[in-house]
A and B are shown apart, each in its own frame.
Chain A
Amino acid sequence: MQTAFRMENLASGYEQVRVFEGLNLTIEEGKVTTIIGPNGCGKSTLLKTIGRILKKQQGTVYLQEQNMQNLSTKDIAKKLAILSQTPVAPGQLKVEELIAYGRYPHRNNVNRLTNKDEEMIEWALTVTNTIEYRNRELAQLSGGQRQRVWLAMALAQETNILLLDEPTTYLDMAHQLEVLDIVKSLNEQHACTIVMVLHDINHAARYSDHLIAMRKGVVMQTGTPQEILCAEVMRRVFHIDARIMEDPVTNTPVCYSYDILKETIK
């Protein structure tokens, strides 16, 4: 199995603040891998660092076994797309125009779209189910619609790897699943490698092949949803007393309720 990412002795953070260091981790190709952990554990920082949005402070990241440092940012953009946590675009921009931005790494003529570009934009519109409001301005869209448009832009980038930083935040329950279902189908039907950060551990368990559980900049445990979503790991990672059962429909573990561990409250 080829690796999508391999990190060696990786350290990253902001200015003087080291969020994590000495991190060694591999993420497999063709799988859905989700990073979970409490606030401030470094999950977003990790995602941003392997997506080269954030400069690493130390160590090496291999993207499909190539040292990322030796790849141009444009070449990386052909291999991986990132949907950031709080994307911003001018409200007057049309849906189609924003999605066309995703074609940037493939474009030679900046003023004209090729047939291939048009094709990919159509595909992205179809997959994300945004085709009906392709001519609308972003300002006229709801939060759920807008998130799918951003996802479409990342898809138009035509990459094998997709990094998603909390793609369901601020969405209502139905729209959360809508986004995750698209992500799932991308993985299943287009062999897209997905690496994402999710807050909801039940979603993480249901939609992922692998989970990476972090706390305070340290990878506490990696494994299948069954291995991670258990009382013992939940206690160590989230400091919660989790009550877990198996969802008979999806056959994935579900944390149906929990309490805060009394002894850890400071």
Chain B
Amino acid sequence: MHKKASNVFLMTMLMLLLLILGASYLHITNGVFDMSVTDIIKTLLRLETNSNFDLVIFEFRLPRIVIAALVGIGLGMAGVVLQGITRNGLADPGILGINAGAGAAVVIFMFFFQLRLMTADMSSWMSILMMPLFGFIGGTIAAILIFSFAMKNGHLDMQRLILTGIAINSGFGALSLFLSLKMSAQDFESAAIWMAGSIYNANWIFALTMLPWLLILGIYVYRKSYLLDYFQLEEDSITSLGIAVEKEKMKLLLASVGLVSACVSVSGSIGFIGLMAPHIAKQLVGIQHRYVMPVSALIGAGLLILADFIGKTVFAPSELAVGIVVSIIGIPYFLYLLVKSKA
């Protein structure tokens, strides 16, 4: 029985890796500038150097795929954690306002430092490194606000959590909008695109900045994923087993806020990945979180690469922000979940 579950897990991981490879293949070969596989392999393996191919692959498409994968992994894992600790299948970084909080912090940062975020060059290394930090602070503030309002007598009240999340979400959303309207036209445009959730200005610096966050926090939440199994019980039973419920929840919450903030700070607010990926993962590998967590991470990565591919090709030459594509797929699914959970 145990063997079977782990076999299913390995098979699923394999399939997902193939899916990610497939999506990456589509992504890297298609675009304004179509390339053949042989061209790409030759360029990647440095068998043949063509400055045009180099530019398109190394400066545009590859960082974009890498960022999509990293953001997808981060949001996929954070979604599993948030749904686990709230015991609510509708919890998602976006719905809980963590996205909006991190987003508002980044917009404040852009506003006061007049940073042309989207055209970051190497000289602004410091300011780029500041962005995830601001995102993290904003996300944490949002999370603390939500949790302190939703906390009642030491217990998290689910209804209050969702309601507070919605309130915080629109509050921070309004703040972001207000500040971005006061920006110069150029800054406003980049802020607006950024808020819709986009990665088409991805670059290696972004990938490098978020990588350590993702590695450290990702490994941390993966190692703690077994706890999420226990969190499926009600609080009294968990306490009875000798788990320091509030403490562990807080640690996991902080870790997922960190993950989300790192993602939001490079890609803007991409909703629904954190909602969908864990649900799909549970359909595939059951409810053991040490399986759900990595599967959800890969689903997140795959979905985001695919969504970004759709976003850049469907209305080519103009691009659709990946966050919008994800929402178009995500909203019907979200409604479906709502209807189902009513029963």
Q: Please tell me if the beta carbons of B153 and A14 are within 8 angstroms of each other in the complex.
A: yes
Query: Contact: A52 with B239, CB < 8 Å?
Result: yes
A104-B230, A110-B226 are contacts. A154–B240 as well, Cβ < 8 Å?
yes
Given contacts A15-B153, A55-B154, contact A90 B232 (CB under 8 A): yes
- B242 closest partner in A (C-beta): A77
Interface check A82, CB cutoff 8 A? yes
Q: Do A111 and B290 touch across chains, with their CB atoms under 8 A apart?
A: yes
Residues 141-193 of B contacting A (Cβ, < 8 Å): 152-154
Task: Decide yes or no whether B339 CB sits under 8 A from chain A.
Answer: no
Instruction: Give chain A nearest CB distance to B300 CB in angstroms.
Output: 22
Task: Tell whether, in the assembled complex, residue B234 and residue A104 are in contact, meaning their CB atoms are under 8 Å apart.
Answer: no
Decide if A73 touches B243 in the complex (CB within 8 Å): yes
Q: Can you list, as one digit per residue, whether each of B8-42 has a CB less than 8 Å from chain A (1) or not (0)?
A: 00000000000000000000000000000000000
Once bound together, how far apart are the Cα atoms of A87 and B234, in whole Å? 6
A40 → chain B, closest Cβ, in Å?
A: 17
Please tell me if the beta carbons of B240 and A81 are within 8 angstroms of each other in the complex: yes
User: What is the 8 Å Cβ interface bit string for chain B, positions 237-256, against chain A (1 contact, 0 not)?
Assistant: 10111111000000000000
The DSSP consensus for interface residues of chain A is loop
Tell me the smallest distance from the CB of B233 to a CB of chain A, in Å: 5
Considering only residues 71-92 of chain A, those with a C-beta below 8 Å from chain B are 72-78, 81-90, 92
Tell whether A144 is near chain B: CB-to-CB under 8 Å. no
CB distance from A195 to the nearest CB of B (A): 13
A53 adjacent to chain B (CB < 8 Å): yes
Chain A residues within 8 Å of chain B by Cβ, number: 37
Q: Which of B239, B243, B244, B286 neighbours the largest number of chain A CB atoms within 10 Å of its CB?
A: B239
CB closest chain-A residue, reference B239? A53
Decide if A51 is an interface residue (CB 8 Å cutoff): yes
Q: Is the CB–CB distance between B242 and A74 below 8 Å?
A: yes
Q: Could you mark each residue 45-81 of chain A with 1 if its beta carbon is under 8 Å from any beta carbon of chain B, else 0?
A: 0001001110100000000000000001111111001
Closest to B1 in A: A135
How many of chain B's residues have a CB under 8 angstroms from any CB in A? 22
Q: Taking the nearest CB of chain B, how far is it from the CB of A148, in angstroms?
A: 15
- Of the listed residues B152, B232, B237, B239, the one surrounded by the most CB atoms of chain A closer than 10 A to its CB is B237
Q: Are B242 and A105 in contact (CB under 8 A)?
A: yes
Taking a contact as CB atoms closer than 8 A, the residue among A73, A88, A154 that contacts B239 in the complex is A73
Q: Closest chain B residue to A48 by CB distance?
A: B236
Interface centre among B226, B236, B287 (most CB of A within 10 A): B236
Known contacts A93-B287, A110-B226, A111-B290; is-contact A73 B242 (Cβ 8 Å)? yes
A102 located at the interface, meaning its Cβ lies under 8 Å from any Cβ of chain B in the complex: yes
Question: Is A157 interfacial (CB 8 A cutoff)?
Answer: yes
Is A77 within 8 A of B286, CB to CB?
no
A101 at the interface (CB under 8 A from B): yes
B233 to A, closest residue via Cβ: A89
Chain B contacts for A93, CB-based, 8 A: 232, 287
Residues on B with C-beta less than 8 A from A73 are 239, 242-244
- How far, in Å, is B6 (CB) from chain A's closest CB? 10
Q: Name B290's closest neighbour in chain A (CB-CB).
A: A111
Could you tell me the distance in whole angstroms from the C-beta of A230 to the nearest C-beta in chain B? 34
CB contact between B287 and one of A92, A104, A154 (< 8 Å): that residue? A92
CB distance from B231 to the nearest CB of A (A): 11
B87 closest partner in A (C-beta): A88
Chain B residues whose C-beta falls within 8 Å of the C-beta of A55 in the assembled complex: 154
Bound CA span A15–B153, Å: 6
Q: Is the CB of B233 within 8 A of A88?
A: yes
Q: A73-B243, A104-B230 are in contact. List 14 more A-B contacts (CB 8 A).
A: A14-B153, A74-B243, A77-B242, A78-B242, A84-B234, A84-B236, A86-B234, A88-B237, A90-B232, A101-B229, A101-B233, A104-B243, A110-B226, A154-B240
Interface pairs (7), CB distance under 8 Å: A53-B240, A77-B242, A82-B239, A84-B240, A85-B236, A89-B233, A157-B240
